[in-house]
Structure 1
Amino acid sequence: MTKIGYARVSSKEQNLQRQYEKFESVGVTKIFSDKLSGKNNNRPKLQEMLNYIRESDIIVVTELDRLGRNNKEVTYIMNQIQEKNATLEILNLPSLSGIQDDNLRRLLNNLIIELFKYTAENERKQIRERQRQGIEIAKEKGKYKGRPLAYSADSTDKQKRVTYKKIVEMLGKDVPITQISKDLGVARNTIYRIRDELGRNELIR
């Protein structure tokens, strides 16, 4: 039996150290990790871990959503673990470490995880519904403007606001869009969108 940890963060800028420390505290001896969104189906280290595990191994994650962001994907991964006759241990759920019988451990493990999955999915639905209701109320009051675009005068990212101003300036000088994209490292579709918005604003004036 081997305790195998799977760690994941959503981007390269995020740190895995917290998950590693928790693994160390419960005796994990082998770790696989990805720096990719849980929505990404192509997670090479997750697949490598699924190929690596053997019967009676224990797969450890700090939270269930490290495996995936939706019920369908988590269920798929759990089924692969079960097919190997391994079990899953989620550190923020009740521990089964004192149970030695593999069959009983698997049964209780599955019951706990299914309950947790149901609760988590239900909470996500409630959050989405509250967001929808909030947006509808804001629209009725004329206060909803939607999420600010990444490259815009109102962007929450200071650097992208500066880049937006450079794009506007270069468009005003008739610099080709391909050249703007190359010089500033911004997708051409984004520049086309900015150009079209500027054109609409001119018409409104």
Structure 2
Amino acid sequence: MSTDDQNADRQRDSILETYDEDEITWYVDIDSGSKLARPQYQQLRDDVDAGEPDVVVTTEIDRLGRSFSELASLVEDIRVQGIELDCTQQPVSTVDSDGWMGDLMLNLLIVFADAERKMIRDRVQQGIDKAKRDGKRVGRPPHGYDVDDDGFLFQDPAEYAKTQEFIREVRKGRQKTSTAEYFGIPQSSIQSILKRADQNYGVRFDNDAWRVERARVESGEKELEPLV
């Protein structure tokens, strides 16, 4: 599951580090992880109900949707059918694990994924509400967010995920403007995104640390893979 073609390719590469291509049936929706009406996701659910997969593999548990109830339902269906679940980029797998420990870690991961999304959303909303109470003018929402008809902030999952990925890539020492262009982020949003990276997107960013990494890249001391 992914939010865009580039992200799907990275997830595919991660899975292929552990599993052979000819062993895999891919379920890929180029869409938001928070939307449940996804044809490939629904096909996965149908196949799980039929007990067809031996293992359901994902890079991270929240790629299966960030709703607690939906994740819990899917995991329960997987367990009932005796199917294994493996998250290749997280320390959670029921494959060759000691049963209860794998289940415990999986349940915790689902709870944390849901809680993180809610905490970040609420933290940003609280900042906007405080600004309104203080009589400050509240402008457009942060990149990756939107406002509903009642004036409440909500995450645009596709743009939000791309913004998180943008921050992570810049943090490695990449040039800010070209990286923003790659992810389709307006140049006018770069400064505010990086300034509030932790608060708005749950990704730490330190500009001084970035300068150090950028200098290493420019000097040739550090080499980065091209963004593809």
Give the root-mean-square deviation of aligned CA atoms.
2.9
Q: 1:34-87 CA deviation, whole Å, 9 max, x = no partner?
A: 112122222221222233343781111001111002111111111221221102
Question: Could you tell me which of 41, 59, 63 is aligned with 1:46?
Answer: 41
How far the C-alpha of 1:18 sits from its partner, in A, is 0.8
Judged with a 3 Å threshold, the aligned counterparts in structure 2 of structure 1 residues 126 and 10 are, in CA distance, closer, same or farther, namely same
2:105 is paired with a residue whose SS is helix
**Residues 1:147 and 2:144 aligned together:** no
Number of the residue aligned with 2:176: none
Secondary structure of the structure 2 residue equivalent to 1:35: coil
Letter in 1 for 2:114: E
Residues 20-45 of structure 1 show CA distances to partners (whole Å, capped at 9, x for unaligned) of: 11111111521221112122222221
Aligned partner of 1:88 among 85, 89, 112: 85
2:124 equivalent in structure 1: 131
Report the CA distance between 1:129 and its aligned residue: 2.7
CA distance in 2, matches of 1:143, 1:37: 31
Number of residue pairs matched by the alignment: 140
Q: Are the aligned partners of 1:9 and 1:16 in contact in 2 as well (CA < 8 Å)? A: yes
Higher relative contact order (CA 8 A, sep 6+): 2
Partner letter of residue 90 of structure 1?
A: C
Indicate conservation of the 8 Å contact 1:56/1:86, yes or no: yes
Q: What SS does the aligned partner of 1:120 have?
A: helix
Report the alpha carbon displacement of residue 144 of structure 1 after superposing the two structures with TM: 0.9
Q: CA deviation at 1:136?
A: 2.0
Q: Give the equivalent residue in structure 2 for 1:18.
A: 10
Question: Match for residue 117 of structure 1?
Answer: 110
- TM-score, structure 2 normalization: 0.52
1:66 counterpart residue number: 63
Partner amino acid for 1:117?
Answer: I
> Where do 5+ consecutive residues of structure 2 fail to align?
147-184, 188-228
C-alpha distance in 1, partners of 2:76/2:2? 22
TM-superposed deviation, 1:120: 2.4
> What amino acid does structure 2 have at the position aligned with 1:36?
D
Residues 96 and 74 (structure 1), Cα distance of their counterparts in 2 relative to 1, 3 Å cut: closer
Please list the CA deviations of residues 78-121 of structure 1 after superposition, one character each: whole Å capped at 9, or x if unmatched: 12212211021112222547736xxx43x332211111122223
TM-score, normalisation: structure 1: 0.57
Q: Structure 2: which amino acid aligns with 1:111?
A: L
The structure that has the greater radius of gyration is 1
The CA deviation at 1:126 is: 2.3
CA shift in 2, pair 1:21/1:46, >3 Å: same
On the 8 A contact 2:56/2:85 being kept in 1, the answer is yes
Q: Structure 1 unaligned runs (5+)?
A: 1-7, 150-155, 159-205
SS at match of 1:143: coil
